[in-house]
């Protein structure tokens, strides 16, 4: 797959961007699980430790022009001519002779050529808490070159939102100084705000991090002051220090903080040299301070030089890391380790299908994207600024389904954390802050129910029934078992039904912008009711499996009650309505002038099993009839043009974008799932194909965002910018598209008892293969489709032996014998 800005590498492990002027910054992540950064293809982006709001290390200017500034910049300057440029193109934006950015799994490599100098910067984070910029410069000229090298970025030092809104005050606590002996630039802040609200109360606490910036080359000069380094009325494009060939050796005790180092490279013709720049954090140890005097050299007249507190233990820790990574062998080892780690991650799921793009997504990029959404929730991206949201509860529960196939132990830990953010009554925070504690409770009606979904999927994957007995405290009460947490969520939702047995809408459901239908407690969410039905059905299955027959019985009755309510009150003739508001008005009905039909109440009618036979087919046919676009079905139709304060934000949003009628990929993924459940493999795959981020049906200059990851939404034909996508990377569609692909299209699905093989594919496919690690065994599954059907398993063989039906039942003795002492088994499936 190729567009005018780039293509995937042969092995699909990299996306190669071949020119810098992409329609939007095309971004990647670097991370070791604690120290994180975003890196754009031109070196832009920011770094943070654990939490992008509270522990921001470097700055990134929101809404900035030029866009995507600042970043991690390396600028080369030819000593002889004085000309300077950056191998990452930004920030100097000199026209380069060659440019290439390779985004890989948690690393980016940006390379270019200018005036016969090749230069390459590799950005990544090793297991230690620092980022490495490994720079290689090659002189391809016939004459020797002396280059000044500048490495710089702007520092934030602490709370990123306060840095934005209270900067004139915030800067009075910044400190940056250079340690001549170790040649390390240190930076920190003497206070730390850990809350978000606007208040006149000042924090009375120091930021507990010490930032260090160093390199493996000798340092010729440095700057800690942005003002000194950049110069008056200049920007990161043309710092005075770069232009004049040297920094002014500034330190600051107040002011905007910069970390800038100046080095020199002398290169013979044909010679290449590699060096490393390091930016990292160590905990600030206040126990054993020493004092240094700063600013004597910059202190005209009678003013006082500054005494600055230094942190001996922190300094030792930083020096140790710098010493380690000044050694190129350690950098190489760390990079090899990173690559190995993510190759292993990918090895748990491998597919070979007739669709190349599906292979690229399921084997690499979709798996990678779900590991990123799991890590960053909806918090740190170029579209989620990392200033507000913390960890979203509903999103994060869904995000567990991605890494679940590869690292169930990560998911286990996360689920315990999430259960700890549930309240005794079964309600939950809507978002919470893992670093500083606390969260926001909004009352969204769907949020509590995502915890049971995630827990049940975890058990299907791992078979770890004992997890249900693990104890975790409620946020506001004593500990209870995971099973009790699960029951609490369901009971909470059941206790909040209206007299018609439909769920209350509250201040929103999955759709955050249907936010003024149900604030008075009367409006009903048909979608949440369907979601509840789904969870009840899942719960019945779990209770039956673990012998909780009474509970299974009770939930069966609840399911029937709800199913009846939905089919009595919510069927509109050809599809299901979306809900009612506090005033009793219906939305998502043929009677409405706008917002007549919503996607989610059709797909979930099927997913929850409440729509059977004819109704199931009809409502999904209505999706095709009214919602279809070249990029998949829209979230609703027709988009709202009239503001309705009794519906909410969706009606205030411009038609065709976001939740007001865009192709919102998260519901698109559920439509694929529903079509698979209906067995319509051609239709399911048609939608899946349309939604692929690299699908060229929309011209890339219009589509704009990264073609290697899903975006939250694509503008629909209801807007003149149809096809423009936004909010790439952090979207629930990533996880569901992955599971759609593996579990529902290719049909390799975990159950409590084992693996179920239930493909739903295009008729034209003659076969495909899947490798899926499941409970420690690699299943090499070969599916043949000689007669061209969409679904229907005719025979299933495990290690050459026929099994009944389409299940690999781990409770079955025969199956157990076949699996005994094996780490790899062969499965042959015949459709027909």
**Catalytic positions, written as ranges:** 512
Shortest Cβ 535–ligand GLC spacing (Å): 16
Identify which of residues 102 and 378 has a Cβ nearer to ligand GLC in the complex.
378
Closest contact distance (angstroms) between CB of 193 and ligand GLC is: 25
Residue 580: strand, helix, or coil: strand
In this structure, what DSSP letter does residue 736 have? H
In the complex, the smallest distance separating the C-beta of residue 401 from ligand GLC, rounded to whole angstroms, is 15
Q: What's the min distance (Å) between Cβ of 294 and ligand GLC?
A: 45
- Shortest reach from residue 383's CB to ligand GLC, in Å: 10
Residue 430 Cβ vs ligand GLC, minimum distance, rounded to whole Å: 9
Closest by CA to 710, choosing from 660, 771, 668, is 668
Q: How far is the CB of 392 from ligand GLC (least distance, A)?
A: 6
Whose tokens are 């955050």? That residue is: 512
Residue 776: how many CB atoms within 10 A of its CB?
10
User: Minimum Å distance from CB 388 to ligand GLC?
Assistant: 12
CB of 650 to ligand GLC, least distance (A): 9
What tokens appear for 288 in the block?
């054993």
- C-beta closer to ligand GLC: residue 72 or 637: 637
Report the alpha-carbon distance of residue 1 to residue 528 in Å, rounded.
Answer: 39
Residue among 692, 680, 575 at smallest CA distance from 631: 692
Strands (DSSP E) contained in 395-467 are 431-432, 439-440
**3-state helix vs strand vs coil in the chain, percent to 5:** 30, 30, 40
> Alpha carbon 150 to chain centroid distance?
32
The phi, psi pair for 31, rounded to 5°, reads -170, 150
**Between residues 8 and 534, which has the closer beta carbon with respect to ligand GLC?**
534
Residue number with CB closer to ligand GLC (22 or 601): 601
Residue with smaller CB distance to ligand GLC, 256 or 712: 712
What is the C-alpha to C-alpha distance for residues 143 and 145, in angstroms, rounded to an integer?
Answer: 7
Handedness of CA 357, 360, 363, 366 (dihedral sign): negative
Which tokens in the block code for residue 97?
């002779």
Q: How far apart are CA 641 and CA 657, in angstroms?
A: 12
For residue 125 the two structure tokens come to: 């984070």
Would you state the structure tokens that stand for residue 776, as one six-digit string? 């420690």
Our CB check for ligand GLC shows the closer of 111 and 401 to be 401
| Secondary structure element (H or E) that encloses residue 542, with its range | helix 526-546
CB of 378 to ligand GLC, least distance (A): 4
Buried b (16+ CB within 10 A) or exposed e, 464-497: eeebbebebebbeeeebebbbbbbbbbebbbebb
Q: Which is nearer to ligand GLC, 249 or 665 (CB)?
A: 665
Residue with the closest Cβ to ligand GLC? Answer: 512
Give 102 or 666: the residue with its C-beta nearer to ligand GLC: 666
393 or 576: whose CB is closer to ligand GLC?
A: 393
Least Å from the CB of residue 466 to ligand GLC: 31
Residue 72 to residue 44: CA distance in whole angstroms: 6
Residue 661 CA to its chain's centroid (Å)? 23
Considering only CA atoms, which of 280, 20, 236 is closest in space to residue 128? 280
The span from the CA of 129 to the CA of 135, in Å, is: 19
Hey, how many other C-beta atoms are within 10 angstroms of the C-beta on 47?
A: 31
* Closer to ligand GLC by Cβ: residue 355 or 446: 446
CB atoms within 10 A of CB 309: 14
| Helix 665-677 × helix 681-691 angle, to 10° | 160
Which CB atom, from 391 or from 394, has the smaller least distance to ligand GLC?
394
Binding residues (CB under 6 A) for ligand GLC: these are: 378, 392, 394-395, 510-513, 659, 712, 731-732
Rounded to the nearest angstrom, the gap between the alpha carbon of residue 319 and the centroid of all alpha carbons in its chain is: 33
What DSSP string runs through 471-530? EEE-SSS-EEEHHHHHHHHHHHHHTTB-TTS-EE-BT-SSSTT--SSBTTS--EEHHHHH
Positive or negative, the CA dihedral 55, 61, 63, 66 is negative
């Amino acid at each position: 797959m190729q567009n005018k800005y780039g293509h995937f590498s042969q092995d699909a492990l990299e996306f190669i961007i071949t020119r810098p002027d992409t329609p939007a910054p095309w971004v990647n992540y670097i991370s070791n699980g604690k120290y994180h950064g975003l890196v754009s293809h031109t070196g832009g982006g920011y770094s943070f430790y654990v939490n992008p709001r509270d522990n921001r290390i470097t700055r990134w200017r929101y809404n900035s022009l030029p866009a995507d500034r600042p970043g991690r910049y390396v600028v080369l300057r030819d000593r002889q001519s004085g000309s300077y440029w950056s191998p990452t193109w930004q920030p100097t934006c000199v026209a380069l002779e060659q440019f290439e950015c390779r985004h890989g799994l948690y690393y980016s490599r940006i390379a270019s050529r200018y005036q016969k100098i090749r230069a390459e910067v590799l950005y990544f984070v090793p297991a230690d808490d620092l980022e490495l910029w490994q720079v290689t410069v090659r002189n391809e000229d016939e004459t020797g070159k002396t280059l000044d090298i500048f490495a710089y970025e702007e520092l934030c030092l602490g709370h990123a939102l306060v840095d934005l809104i209270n900067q004139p005050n915030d800067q009075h606590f910044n400190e940056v100084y250079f340690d001549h002996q170790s040649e390390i630039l240190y930076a920190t802040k003497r206070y730390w705000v850990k809350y978000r609200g606007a208040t006149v109360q000042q924090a009375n606490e120091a930021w507990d991090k010490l930032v260090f910036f160093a390199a493996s080359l000798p340092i010729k000069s440095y700057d800690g002051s942005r003002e000194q380094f950049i110069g008056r009325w200049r920007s990161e494009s043309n710092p005075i220090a770069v232009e004049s060939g040297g920094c002014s050796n500034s330190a600051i005790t107040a002011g905007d903080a910069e970390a800038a180092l100046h080095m020199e490279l002398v290169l013979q013709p044909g010679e290449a040299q590699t060096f490393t720049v390091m930016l990292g954090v160590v905990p600030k140890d206040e126990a054993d301070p020493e004092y240094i005097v700063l600013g004597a050299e910059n202190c005209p007249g009678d003013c006082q030089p500054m005494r600055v507190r230094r942190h001996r233990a922190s300094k030792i820790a930083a020096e140790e890391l710098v010493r380690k990574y000044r050694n190129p062998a350690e950098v190489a080892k760390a990079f090899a380790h990173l690559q190995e780690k993510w190759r292993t991650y990918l090895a748990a799921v491998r597919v070979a299908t007739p669709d190349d793009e599906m292979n690229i997504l399921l084997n690499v990029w979709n798996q990678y994207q779900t590991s990123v959404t799991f890590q960053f929730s909806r918090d740190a991206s170029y579209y989620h600024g990392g200033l507000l949201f913390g960890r979203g509860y509903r999103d994060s529960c869904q995000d567990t389904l991605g890494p679940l196939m590869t690292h169930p132990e990560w998911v286990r830990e996360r689920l315990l954390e999430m259960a700890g953010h549930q309240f005794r009554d079964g309600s939950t925070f809507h978002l919470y802050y893992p670093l500083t504690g606390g969260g926001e409770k909004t009352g969204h009606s769907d949020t509590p129910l995502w915890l049971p979904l995630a827990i049940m999927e975890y058990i299907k994957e791992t078979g770890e029934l004992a997890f249900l007995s693990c104890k975790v405290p409620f946020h506001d009460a004593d500990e209870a078992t995971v099973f009790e947490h699960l029951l609490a969520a369901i009971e909470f939702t059941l206790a909040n039904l209206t007299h018609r047995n439909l769920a209350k809408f509250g201040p929103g459901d999955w759709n955050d912008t249907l936010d003024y239908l149900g604030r008075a407690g009367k409006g009903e969410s048909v979608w949440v009711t369907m979601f509840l039905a789904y969870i009840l059905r899942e719960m019945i299955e779990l209770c039956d499996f673990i012998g909780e027959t009474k509970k299974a019985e009770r939930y069966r009755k609840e399911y029937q009650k709800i199913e009846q309510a939905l089919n009595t009150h919510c069927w509109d003739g050809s599809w299901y309505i979306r809900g009612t508001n506090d005033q009793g008005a219906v939305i998502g009905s043929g009677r409405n002038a706008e917002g007549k039909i919503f996607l989610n109440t059709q797909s979930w009618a099927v997913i929850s099993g409440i729509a059977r036979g004819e109704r199931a087919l009809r409502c999904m046919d209505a999706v095709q009839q009214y919602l279809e676009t070249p990029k998949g079905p829209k979230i609703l139709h027709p988009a709202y043009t009239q503001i309705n304060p009794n519906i909410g934000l969706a009606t205030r949003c411009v038609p065709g974008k976001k939740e007001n009628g865009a192709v919102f990929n998260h519901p698109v993924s559920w439509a694929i799932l529903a079509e698979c459940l209906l067995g319509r493999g051609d239709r399911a795959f048609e939608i899946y194909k349309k939604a692929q981020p690299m699908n060229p049906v929309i011209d890339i200059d219009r589509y704009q965002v990264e073609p290697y990851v899903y975006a939250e939404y694509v503008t629909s034909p209801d807007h003149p910018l149809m096809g423009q996508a936004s909010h790439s990377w952090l979207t629930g569609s990533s996880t569901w598209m992955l599971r759609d692909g593996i579990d529902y299209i290719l049909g390799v699905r975990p159950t409590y008892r084992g693996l179920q093989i239930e493909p739903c594919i295009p008729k034209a496919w003659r076969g495909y293969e899947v490798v899926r690690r499941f409970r420690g065994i690699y299943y090499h599954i070969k599916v043949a489709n000689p007669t061209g059907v969409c679904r229907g398993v005719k025979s299933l063989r495990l290690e050459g032996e026929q099994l009944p039906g389409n299940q690999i039942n781990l409770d079955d003795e025969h199956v157990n014998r076949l699996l005994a002492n094996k780490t790899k088994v062969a499965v042959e499936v015949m459709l027909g």
